């Protein structure tokens, strides 16, 4: 007996799965952003033009775009590494904060004694160590005590924030200062600014906040790629993320792998402190993570948790951050928080609602056949 | 003696004032969590509601319209969360994070565009704010009593009604509910509607009850403290209410302890007291003080079998 039945839409071709679906998701997010811009009475295309010019229009704006992208690369990688292990690290904000404390303390302690070629690597290591340490506690609590890592990492963001306010106001504040910031770092603890480095080799660019931390960020992307896809440890980590039972069967120690994944993740987030404090502020300041930790979730989702994707997504977010600032300067009724709206919408459409366009695409492809 | 009594009463009043949004938010969160939906977007819903309450009150001049619109705003976000997590089976944590970030951005963007005050709404006066009900100058507006009432109501709905029984079942073993011919999705959507209602009230309280207007990020982590209270109350309404009161008391003490030397302890850092709810929640989750076990199906999207 034959039953007439509408053919169920088949699976999407691989290229549509990898390229088209994510692009449609991002397009949806930007359509909603355009609607928000239109609702507050501004022509979205005019705003877009100002944003692009603001992000890429001059060597100064490109410098700032890349400087923001550096932070997004660090936090995006942090989320991605944990994600591959099946762990959701929303503690990037706190880990970045404590990572900054780590490199800041080291530079304050040793910056006057040791030469720069020794202080900078030590401080970078300190940032990694402190960031990893702040992630290690929730990781340990998850691995040994079974508490949920999402909740504990959220709570650790607030605990980090309270701790930093206490330290800055009561302990680390520069003597005689009214604002809660530490004394300035010795020059040995500064990461060289990109315009100075380029000047030294004869290229003149406008000064910006961009510094050599971006090299560290790109190196981290490479290390993450090698680690995740070309080492036994990375293989164990990804196996745990896909199927914990299979990982156990293959001899993986889940507790140890959880610790490795989260410490790696926390160290990456901690490098935001290197870019911000050693690269730009040259002292420990309050609230420097400024949402980069949370934005890392959007970066990782958009970059599909792959280092190359993270670099591309971080560049886009960096451009949005810089272009958004310029846009807010040009049009007073738009604020910088428009970028936060975009981040939220990208997390929504590329993450939680990622499957929304799938049926549409499936019917489209079914039509073609 | 009288002085001591006045002091205790003042502390109690300020504790209740601080705890009100926590209680409302925690009760809202309980409905979602009991139905198996992890909702870390409580903060965002409350923030959005706070903004729309103040914005509406400023434009219409009526606090009551403000409350209604606040509820609508929070319900809209709750339904969005449901749409992503129930209908599209998306990751509930990702959706919650998205809602928090969206609310943090959208409130400032809309606020700046509409009122041009750097994200703040105009200061509210007179009928634009919720009036005190019985006691002059005690801030005992209707939402304080609503918060107190919300606890027995939540307890009754979750513990004593058919809907509550089914909701609890859906949070533990959704397939059993489905097998009984009851829609898992519709139950969970109703839980999200209730969650939106209560978080909407919590947000309205912040901006047009406790304060006279909206300011950016005015929830300042209270949605997460409410989440901590739910955990601390082991997903039960009455203990969660108790946790909210303890956290409220901590907050009220923190304000009073600023710069005061406590005998025997010295000066207690205000930041330590402020971090207490989070620290306590972490300790509890780690099983160092009792054991908190979430509903079994929480965070797991339900796939209906055909």
Q: Which one of A141, A291, A348 has the shortest CB-CB distance to B95?
A: A348
Highest mean pLDDT among A266-275, B7-16, B297-306: A266-275
Q: How far apart are CA A331 and CA A328, in angstroms?
A: 5
Q: Best of A337, A343, A355, A356 to disrupt the B interface by mutation (most B CBs within 10 Å)?
A: A337
DSSP-derived 3-state class of residue A203: coil
How much is the average pLDDT of B246-262?
79
Q: Which residues of A touch B52 (CB under 8 A)?
A: none
pLDDT of residue A1: 41
B119: which chain A residues are within 8 Å (Cβ-Cβ)? 335, 337
Q: How far apart are CA B258 and CA B186, in angstroms?
A: 48
Beta bridge partners of A228: none
Q: Where are the domains of chain A?
A: 75-296
When scoring A162, A302, A356 by the number of chain B Cβ atoms within 10 A, the one with the most, hence best to mutate, is A162
CA atoms of A288 and B252, how far apart (whole Å): 28
Q: What does the H/E/C string look like for B194-214?
A: HHHHHHHHHHHHHHHHHCCCC
- The DSSP H or E segment spanning B243 is helix B237-257
* Chain B positions in Cβ-Cβ contact with residue A36 (cut-off 8 Å): 106, 109
**Residue A178: per-residue pLDDT:** 84
Structure tokens at B246: 């303890």
Could B84 and A150 be called an inter-chain contact, meaning their C-beta atoms sit closer than 8 Å? no
Contact B90 A351 (CB under 8 A): yes
Instruction: Output the pTM of the full model.
Output: 0.90
- Which residue, among A313, A332, A305, A327, has the nearest Cα to A29 in the 3D structure? A313
Determine, for residues A147 and B227 on separate chains, whether the beta-carbon distance falls below 8 Å: no
Burial of A43 (0-12, 13-18, 19+ CB in 10 A): exposed
Supply the pLDDT for residue B64. Answer: 95
Q: Which pLDDT band holds residue B293 (cuts at 50, 70, 90)?
A: confident
Confidence check: pLDDT of B229 > 80: yes
- Shortest Cα distance from B142 to chain A (angstroms)? 31
What 3 state SS string does A54-88 have?
HHHCCHHHHHHHHHHHHHHHHHHHHHHHHHHCCCC
Confidence at B282, pLDDT banded by 50, 70, 90: confident
CB spacing of B285 vs A152 below 8 angstroms? yes
The phi-psi region of residue A43 (left if phi > 0; otherwise alpha if psi is between -120 and 50; otherwise beta) is beta
Average pLDDT over chain B reads 89
B275–A301: do the CB atoms touch at under 8 Å?
A: no
- Which DSSP helix (H) or strand (E) runs through B286? none
Whether A352 sits inside 8 A of B95 (CB atoms) is: yes
- Largest Cα span, chain A: 90
Size of interface A-B (CB pairs under 8 A): 155
Of the candidates B186, B145, B143, the residue with the CA atom closest to the CA atom of residue B167: B186
pLDDT at B135: 74
The CATH topology of domain B2-285 is ABC transporter involved in vitamin B12 uptake, BtuC (1.10.3470)
Cross-chain CB nearest to B40 (options A154, A348, A353): A154
The token pair at A169 is: 């106001």
Interface contact A347-B110, CB threshold 8 A: no
Scan residues 39-68 of B and list those with Cβ closer than 8 Å to A.
40
**CB pair distance less than 8 Å for B98 and A40:** no
Question: Any idea where the domains of chain B sit in the sequence?
Answer: 2-285
| Three-state SS at B141 | strand
* B132 φ/ψ angles, rounded to the nearest 5 degrees: -65, 145
Tens-place pLDDT, residues B93-133: 899 999 999 999 999 999 999 998 888 899 988 888 888 88
Measured between beta carbons, the chain B residues lying within 8 angstroms of A147 are: 282, 285-287
Cβ distance B40 to A150 less than 8 Å, yes or no, reads yes
**Of the candidates A166, A332, A341, which has its C-beta nearest B105's C-beta?**
A341
Per-residue model confidence as pLDDT tens for chain A (369 residues): 444 444 455 678 888 888 888 889 999 999 999 999 998 888 999 999 999 999 999 999 999 999 999 999 999 999 999 999 999 999 999 999 999 999 999 999 998 999 989 999 999 999 999 999 999 999 999 999 878 888 899 999 999 999 999 999 989 998 888 888 999 999 999 999 999 999 999 899 999 999 999 999 999 999 999 999 999 999 999 999 999 999 999 899 999 999 999 999 999 999 999 999 999 999 999 999 988 999 999 899 989 899 999 999 999 999 999 999 999 899 888 888 898 999 899 999 988 898 888 888 888 888 876
E-strand stretches of chain B = 261-262, 266-267
Q: Which of B282, B273, B187 is closest to B227 using CA atoms?
A: B282
Q: Do B112 and A335 touch (CB under 8 A)?
A: yes
Of the partner residues B83, B97, B118, the one whose CB lies closest to the CB of residue A297: B97
Query: Is the Cβ–Cβ distance between B42 and B219 less than 8 Å?
Result: no
In A, minimum Cα distance to B92 occurs at: A352
What is the pLDDT averaged over residues B187-213? 95
d(CA B98, CA B95): 5
- The verdict on B227 touching A (C-beta cutoff 8 Å) is yes
B129 Rama sector, left if φ>0, alpha if ψ -120 to 50, beta otherwise: beta
A253: burial class by Cβ within 10 Å (0-12, 13-18, 19+)?
middle
Smallest Cα distance from B119 to chain A, Å: 9
Distance from CA of A333 to the nearest CA of B (A): 5
- Nearest chain B residue to A297 by CA: give it: B94
Q: How many helices (H) and strands (E) does chain B have?
A: 11, 2
What confidence score (pLDDT) does residue A333 get? 84
What does the alpha-carbon distance between residue B237 and residue B164 come to, in Å, rounded to a whole number? 12
Range with the largest mean pLDDT of B1-15, B191-205, B217-231, B281-295: B191-205
Interface test with B, best of A94, A155, A180 (most B CBs within 10 A): A155
**Interatomic CA distance for residues B197 and A82, integer angstroms:** 34
Beta bridge partners of B262: B266
CB of B221 within 8 Å of a chain A CB? The answer is yes
Q: Which among B109, B231, B243, B259 is the top mutation candidate for probing chain A, defined by the most A β-carbons within 10 Å of its own β-carbon?
A: B109
How confident is the model over B77-84, as a mean pLDDT? 96
Determine the distance in angstroms separating the CA of B237 from the nearest CA of chain A, rounded to an integer.
19
Q: Considering only A61-70, A336-345, B28-37, B186-195, which range has the smallest mean pLDDT?
A: A336-345
Instruction: Test A155 with B281 for CB contact under 8 angstroms.
Output: yes
């Amino acid at each position: 007996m034959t039953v007439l039945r509408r053919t169920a839409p088949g699976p999407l071709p691989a290229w549509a799965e990898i390229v088209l679906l994510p692009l449609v998701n991002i397009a949806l997010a930007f359509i909603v952003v355009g609607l928000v811009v239109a609702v507050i009475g501004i022509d979205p295309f005019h705003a877009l033009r100002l944003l692009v010019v603001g992000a890429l229009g001059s060597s100064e704006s490109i410098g700032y775009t890349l400087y923001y992208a550096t932070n997004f690369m660090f936090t995006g990688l942090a989320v991605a590494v944990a994600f591959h292990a099946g762990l959701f690290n929303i503690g990037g904000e706190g880990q970045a904060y404590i990572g900054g404390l780590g490199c800041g303390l080291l530079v304050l302690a040793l910056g006057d004694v040791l030469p720069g070629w020794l202080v900078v690597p030590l401080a970078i290591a300190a940032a990694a160590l402190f960031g990893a340490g702040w992630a290690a506690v929730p990781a340990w609590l998850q691995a040994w005590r079974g508490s949920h890592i999402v909740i504990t990492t959220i709570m650790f963001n607030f605990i980090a924030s309270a701790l930093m306010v206490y330290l800055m106001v009561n302990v680390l504040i520069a003597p005689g200062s009214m604002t809660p910031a530490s004394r300035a770092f010795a020059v040995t603890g500064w990461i060289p600014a990109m315009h100075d480095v380029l000047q030294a080799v004869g290229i003149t660019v406008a000064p910006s906040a961009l510094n050599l931390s971006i090299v560290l960020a790109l190196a981290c992307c490479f290390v993450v790629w090698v680690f995740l896809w070309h080492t036994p440890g990375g293989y164990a980590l990804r196996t745990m993320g896909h199927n914990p039972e299979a990982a156990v069967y293959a001899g993986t120690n889940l507790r140890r792998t959880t610790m490795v994944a989260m410490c790696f993740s926390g160290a990456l987030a901690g490098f935001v402190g290197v870019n911000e404090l050693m690269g730009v502020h040259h002292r420990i300041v309050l609230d420097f993570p400024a949402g980069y930790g949370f934005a890392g979730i959007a970066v990782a989702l958009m970059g599909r948790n792959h280092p190359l994707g993270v670099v591309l997504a971080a560049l886009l977010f960096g451009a949005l951050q810089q272009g958004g600032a310029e846009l807010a300067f040009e049009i007073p009724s738009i604020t910088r928080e428009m970028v936060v709206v975009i981040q939220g919408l990208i997390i929504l459409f590329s993450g939680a609602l990622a499957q929304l366009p799938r049926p549409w695409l499936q019917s489209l492809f079914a039509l073609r056949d | 003696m009288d002085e001591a009594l006045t002091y205790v009463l003042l502390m109690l009043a300020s504790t209740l004032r601080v705890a009100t949004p926590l209680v409302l938010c925690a009760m809202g969160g309980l409905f979602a969590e009991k139905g198996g939906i992890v909702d870390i977007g409580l903060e965002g819903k409350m923030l959005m509601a706070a903004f729309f309450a103040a914005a509406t009150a400023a434009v219409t001049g009526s606090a009551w319209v403000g409350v209604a619109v606040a509820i609508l705003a929070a319900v809209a976000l709750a339904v969005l969360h449901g749409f992503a997590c129930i209908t599209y089976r998306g990751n509930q944590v990702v959706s919650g994070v998205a809602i928090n970030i969206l609310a943090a951005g959208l409130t400032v963007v809309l606020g700046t565009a509409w009122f041009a005050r750097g994200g703040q709404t105009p200061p509210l006066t007179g009928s634009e704010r919720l009036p005190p009900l019985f006691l002059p100058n005690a801030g005992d507006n209707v939402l304080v009593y609503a918060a107190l009432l919300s606890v027995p109501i939540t307890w009754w709905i979750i513990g004593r009604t058919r809907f509550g029984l089914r909701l609890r079942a859906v949070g533990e073993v959704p397939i059993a509910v489905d097998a009984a011919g009851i829609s898992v999705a519709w139950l969970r959507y109703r839980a999200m509607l209730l969650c939106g209602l209560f978080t909407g009230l919590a947000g309205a309280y912040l901006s047009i009850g406790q304060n006279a207007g909206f300011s950016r990020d005015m929830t300042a982590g209270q949605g997460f403290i409410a989440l901590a209270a739910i955990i601390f109350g082991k997903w039960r309404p009455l203990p969660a209410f108790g946790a909210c009161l303890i956290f409220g008391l901590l907050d009220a003490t923190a304000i009073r302890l600023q710069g005061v030397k406590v005998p025997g302890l010295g000066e207690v850092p205000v930041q330590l007291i402020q971090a207490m709810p989070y620290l306590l929640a972490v300790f509890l989750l780690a099983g160092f003080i009792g054991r908190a076990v979430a509903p079994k199906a929480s965070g797991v999207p339900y796939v209906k079998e055909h």
